[in-house]
């Protein structure tokens, strides 16, 4: 028999399996399924048509020594699939955020860990055994390969792909492949972009931008200035420039060959 706190708010058609635990201050949207032995602690909002598989733990207090018992949250969008034994921790007020977020249409595979104050976008894939340290951001369509891990405060740009077993200590810019040890730029995520409707022309434009950043002998600041002056203004160009300029940790280096 499941244990559901009387103050929990469950939408229409929510299914709760045997031995699942749902605490107070939890809101679960219509059509969501919480399978047997899943745990949802307090201060969690889950959207519609999600699935929470056995052993998953959502909303445990953060593994952060700055946490002092304050109210903080986990917010999960719609159609999110949280597989077996994945863990998603609440935020920490000391970070200035206080909320861990997972966007809609995202897949979190088995045994992945999303720490306090992480921000995972829409359409992301967090593969099995990934470990995301506190305040990691993975933007829309980002993919973290199996057993990869991030240092705290790292960012993964939109449509970027981080290879399996990668150790992330710098930011991964948008639209790129990142891999090897130590992690480095490995090209543009051509296959992923084409699958998502980007044209060959657009992919080549993105490639030309990154060739300028990594292979033209300029430092990053010089490369960005050159791109602004010599490349036509497009959404993708501006996304890349903005991401890199706002990178507190700096971006991953060029390949070491």
Please give the DSSP secondary-structure letter assigned to residue 249: S
Residue 142: count other Cβ atoms within 10 Å of its Cβ. Answer: 26
CA atoms within 13 A on the CB side of 193: 22
179 catalytic per annotation: no
43, 113, 116, 123: which one is catalytic?
A: 116
27 vs 33: CA distance, rounded Å: 13
196 vs 38: CA distance, rounded Å: 33
Handedness of CA 55, 8, 135, 188 (dihedral sign): positive
Torsion of CA 182, 184, 186, 187, to 10 degrees: 170
64, 78, 117, 137: which one is catalytic?
A: 117
Torsion of CA 226, 247, 210, 196, to 10 degrees: -130
134 catalytic per annotation: yes
77, 103, 131, 134: which one is catalytic?
A: 134
Which of 112, 105, 106, 149 lies closest to 127, judged by CA? 112
116 catalytic per annotation: yes
Which of 185, 246, 190, 247 lies closest to 212, judged by CA? 185
Active site residues: 116-117, 134
């Amino acid at each position: 028999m499941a244990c559901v706190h009387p103050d929990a708010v469950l939408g229409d058609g929510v299914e709760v399996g045997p031995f699942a635990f749902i605490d107070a201050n939890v809101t679960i949207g219509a059509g969501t399924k919480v399978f047997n032995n899943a745990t949802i602690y307090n201060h969690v909002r889950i959207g519609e048509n999600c699935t929470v598989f056995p052993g998953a733990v959502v909303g445990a207090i953060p593994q952060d020594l700055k946490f002092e018992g304050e109210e903080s949250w986990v917010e999960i969008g719609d159609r999110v699939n949280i597989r077996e034994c994945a863990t998603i921790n609440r935020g920490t007020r000391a970070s200035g955020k206080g909320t861990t977020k997972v966007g809609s249409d995202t897949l979190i595979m088995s045994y992945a860990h999303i720490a306090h104050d992480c921000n995972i976008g829409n359409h992301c894939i967090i593969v099995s055994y990934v470990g995301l340290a506190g305040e990691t951001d993975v933007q829309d369509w980002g993919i973290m390969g199996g057993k990869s891990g991030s240092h705290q405060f790292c960012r993964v740009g939109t449509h970027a792909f981080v290879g399996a077993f990668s150790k992330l200590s710098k930011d991964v810019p948008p639209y790129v492949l990142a891999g090897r040890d130590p992690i480095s730029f490995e090209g543009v995520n051509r296959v992923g972009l084409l699958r998502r409707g980007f044209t060959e022309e657009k992919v080549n434009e993105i490639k030309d931008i990154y060739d300028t950043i990594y292979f033209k002998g300029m430092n990053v600041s010089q490369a960005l200035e050159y791109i602004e002056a010599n490349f036509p203004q497009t959404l993708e160009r501006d996304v890349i420039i903005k991401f890199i300029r706002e990178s507190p940790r700096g971006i991953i280096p060029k390949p070491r060959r």
